[in-house]
């Protein structure tokens, strides 16, 4: 029997019984965090808001299947990521497949001068990334997914995931420097 590890287990039980006030409370506890996840993946505020609504509807429809093996937040995050990826997949993003020997797996370069960036700098650069780079970068850096998980979710090779991340990191650095120079 799974042990319930969720701190909101009473709200979840009330939701399982169809209590709209409990659903409202859970929504307000998680909405902002889940919206941020979706925005990073779909790169469009209005689409992310749609994803958020669809994800919560899906979660509340299927809440009786929530066993408590993980936290409710983790379970909901998985729904939001999957729903966001469905939006991205509908846009038919293309990922360039690379062979193992084409992947640059070099360590991060340390510039001699130390540069500091704000969260705003990172956010501005993130929205400027090409879609394929941004999706892989977000999944790896913010959602803590492995290259194997990303490859499976996006139906790409592990090597493609690695190359997209490498290129995204380089492009992020380039964009942040450019944005600071022009900002």
Q: Do both 112 and 172 map to the same domain?
A: yes
Q: Do both 107 and 72 map to the same domain?
A: no
Mean pLDDT of all residues in 2-29:
85
Query: Residue 178 belongs to a domain with what CATH number?
Result: 1.10.10.10
Which of 90, 117, 146 delimits the end of a domain? Answer: 90
Q: Do both 86 and 110 map to the same domain?
A: no
Which of 90, 113, 135 delimits the end of a domain? Answer: 90
Phi/psi of residue 132, each to 5°? -60, -45
3-state helix, strand, coil in the chain (%, to 5): 70, 0, 30
- Fill in the DSSP letter of residue 138: I
| Residues 27-36: b if buried by 16+ CB within 10 A, e if exposed | bebbbeebbe
**Residue 1 belongs to a domain:** no
Q: Do both 67 and 116 map to the same domain?
A: no
Say how far apart CA 133 and CA 126 lie, in whole Å: 9
Q: What is the pLDDT of residues 76-111, one digit of tens each?
A: 999 999 999 999 888 765 555 555 554 454 444 444
| Portion of the chain with pLDDT greater than 90, in percent | 62
**Residue 2 belongs to a domain:** no
DSSP-based three-state secondary structure for 107: coil
Say how far apart CA 88 and CA 115 lie, in whole Å: 33
**Residue 3 belongs to a domain:** no
Neighbouring CB atoms inside 10 A of 101's CB total: 6
Residue 73's domain spans which residues? 9-90
**Residue 121 belongs to a domain:** yes
**Residue 125 belongs to a domain:** yes
Which of 90, 111, 134 delimits the end of a domain? Answer: 90
Q: Please state the pTM of the whole predicted model.
A: 0.78
Say how far apart CA 49 and CA 83 lie, in whole Å: 11
Q: Is the pLDDT of residue 114 over 90?
A: no
């Amino acid at each position: 029997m799974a042990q319930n590890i969720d701190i909101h287990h009473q709200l979840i039980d009330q939701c399982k019984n169809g209590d709209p006030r409990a659903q409202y409370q859970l929504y307000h506890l998680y909405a902002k965090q889940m919206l941020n996840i979706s925005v990073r993946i779909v790169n469009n505020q209005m689409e992310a808001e749609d994803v958020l609504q669809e994800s919560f509807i899906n979660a509340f429809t299927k809440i009786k299947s929530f066993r408590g093996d993980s936290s409710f937040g983790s379970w909901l995050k998985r729904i939001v990521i999957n729903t966001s990826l469905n939006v991205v997949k509908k846009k038919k993003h293309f990922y360039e497949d690379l062979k193992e020997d084409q992947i640059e797996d070099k360590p991060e370069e340390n510039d001699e001068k130390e540069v500091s960036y704000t969260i705003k700098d990172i956010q501005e650069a993130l929205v400027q990334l090409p879609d394929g780079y941004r999706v892989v970068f977000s999944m790896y850096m913010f959602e803590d997914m492995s290259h194997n998980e990303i490859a499976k979710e996006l139906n790409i090779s592990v090597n493609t995931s690695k190359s997209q991340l490498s290129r995204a990191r380089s492009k992020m650095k380039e964009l942040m420097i450019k944005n600071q120079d022009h900002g």
